[in-house]
Amino acid sequence: MHDVRELIELGPEAVRRLARRRYQLELDPLAAAHRRRSAAVETVARLRAELKRASRGSGAPTEQAREESRRLREAVQQAEAVVREVELDLEQRMSGIPNFPLDEVPDGDSEKQAVEIRRGGPALRPAAGQARHHADLGESLGILDGPRAARLSGARFTVSRGAGARLERALTSFLLDLHTEEHGYTEYSVPHLVSRETMTGTGQLPKFEEDLFATRVGDRELFLIPTAEVPLTNLVARELLDESALPLAFTARTPCYRAEAGSYGRDTRGILRLHQFEKVELVRICALEDAQRELELMVGQVEECLRRLELSYRVVLLPAGDMGFSARMTYDIEVWLPGSDSYREISSVSDCGSFQARRAGIRHRVGGGGKLPAATLNGSALPVGRTIAALLEQGVQEDGSVLLPDALVPYAGFRRILPGGATSGS
């Protein structure tokens, strides 16, 4: 969340920056709401001071003095109610304003304006004529079952079985081992249901409520997490961190639940866009001046996952209008999917600056006793479904079997998945 005073002081510059994100900032109503809050706070302070002076009166209190104290206490309560009302109004106005993009972020409002940074992994494969969509491969291998998933839950769900389920387990174990043993992350097991306050802390609410699954029992409302970024970042919400402990590095494997509002008709085949999918998430929390270095570090860690999985990929820098609400800079890492002859996002790694930390109350100490909002970063490393789609499509052989990369063999217990679901090699 922004500092309202900073937005007002920046004036037209704030309007220009946010226009790059396709957001029209209206400064006058915001400034008026800020003035109302300031006036209400001043009124409360004045009335409290008057009440304090009245309570100190010399000698035994008279009936007139007692009546004056009662009047002032009521006035303070009414003024405090006004403060709560105007603060809620200002918070609602501020909570829908996205983060500023950094100047280095290119202009544009779609993936077509993304800037390719580099490519990695092996040469594009398989050979011409061998490319197959992962949905077809999953069916022929007997490891993905869309029809049964549809009977259970409807569209945009999947069932994995046999070698497919084993492959999911192998992949997440490999990723978590890599991140905890080599990249220095602490693994967490976190709740999959979180409060409205927790969702608001990372920016999912109020803007993206239509894309969330929610549940209510009695008067208790909880949301199914769309990504482990939400609980991981909020692990330190409303905390004051020691600067010497930074950066913090958290990882977790969780299911992710997304309504996919607005994606009607997109990626209806296969496992690229589901309502429920597994993902290993990375979160880093650091001082603001270190955020850009931490961003590049995280991108390198995602690339290392893909290199070890022997997958072809590319890194692109997203334009300002195509970034997530809380991000100020985002790299997308896109994996090659020969079945659709395209690169598709497999990870977004975002630097959110102090935007989420202000919302969630995450601060750190600085020299001289000062306190500053921390910076937060997050990235997928990696989503299970999209990674398996890439492993199937890039690993398919002439006989229709799929060969796994060496890094996964010790975890899976097999090297090849054969048509029909049998496995071979170890």
- List of residues 6+ apart from 294 with CB closer than 8 A: 247, 284, 286, 351, 375, 377
pTM, 2 dp = 0.92
Residue 401, domain member (yes or no): yes
The DSSP symbol for 144 reads: B
Q: How many domains does the chain have?
A: 2
Residues 203, 271 share a domain: yes
Is the pLDDT at 57 greater than 80? The verdict is: no
Rounded to 5°, angle at Cα 78 from 77 and 83: 95
Question: Could you tell me the CATH number of the domain that includes residue 371?
Answer: 3.30.930.10
Is the pLDDT at 21 greater than 80? The verdict is: yes
* Phi-psi sector, 416: left (phi>0), alpha (psi -120 to 50), beta: beta
> Counting Cβ atoms within 10 Å, is residue 201 exposed (0-12), middle (13-18) or buried (19+)?
buried
Neighbours of 309 (CB within 10 A): 24
Query: What are the angstrom distances between the C-alpha of 165 and each of 113, 159, 384, 403?
Result: 37, 9, 11, 16
Residues 129, 91 share a domain: no
Half-sphere exposure (Cβ direction) of 151: Cα atoms closer than 13 Å = 4
Nearest of 344, 422, 419 to residue 385 by alpha carbon: 344
Cβ atoms of residues 335 and 313 within 8 Å: yes
Residue 61, domain member (yes or no): yes
Residues 29, 84 share a domain: yes
Report pLDDT for 82.
95
Give the containing element (helix H, strand E) for 255.
Answer: strand 248-257
Confidence category of residue 403, pLDDT binned at 50, 70, 90: very high
Q: How far apart are CA 321 and CA 71, in angstroms?
A: 53
Is the pLDDT at 59 greater than 80? The verdict is: no
Average pLDDT, the chain: 93
Residue type, 311: L
Is the pLDDT at 148 greater than 90? The verdict is: yes
Residues 310, 173 share a domain: yes
Which stretch of 175-189, 248-262, 273-287 has the lowest confidence by average pLDDT? 248-262
Residue 250, domain member (yes or no): yes
Residue 102, domain member (yes or no): no
Do you know the residue count of the chain?
426
Q: What DSSP letter does each residue of 4-36 carry, written as one string?
A: HHHHHHHTHHHHHHHHTTT----HHHHHHHHHH
Q: Which residue has the higher pLDDT, 362 or 56?
A: 362
Residues 122, 56 share a domain: no
Q: How far apart are CA 326 and CA 97, in angstroms?
A: 9
The radius of gyration computed from the CA coordinates of the chain, to the nearest angstrom, equals 26
Residues 193, 46 share a domain: no
Question: Could you tell me the CATH number of the domain that includes residue 70?
Answer: 1.10.287
Rounded mean pLDDT of 25-47? Answer: 95
Residues 365, 406 share a domain: yes
Residues 115, 81 share a domain: no
Q: How far apart are CA 349 and CA 281, in angstroms?
A: 10
Residue 203, domain member (yes or no): yes
Residues 311, 373 share a domain: yes
Residue 100, domain member (yes or no): no
Residues 115, 91 share a domain: no
Report pLDDT for 346.
97
Domain hosting residue 178, numbered range: 111-424
Rounded mean pLDDT of 382-405? Answer: 96
Residues 374, 250 share a domain: yes
The tokens for 357 are 């930390």
Residues 140, 52 share a domain: no
Confidence category of residue 412, pLDDT binned at 50, 70, 90: very high
Residue 52, domain member (yes or no): yes
Report pLDDT for 262.
59
Is the pLDDT at 56 greater than 80? The verdict is: no
Is the pLDDT at 276 greater than 70? The verdict is: yes
Nearest of 137, 152, 417 to residue 276 by alpha carbon: 152
Rounded to 5°, angle at Cα 378 from 375 and 379: 155
Strands 248-257 and 186-187: parallel
Query: What are the angstrom distances between the C-alpha of 70 and each of 51, 53, 58, 77, 221?
Result: 9, 13, 17, 11, 39
pLDDT in tens, 151-199: 999 999 999 999 999 999 999 999 999 999 999 999 999 999 999 999 9
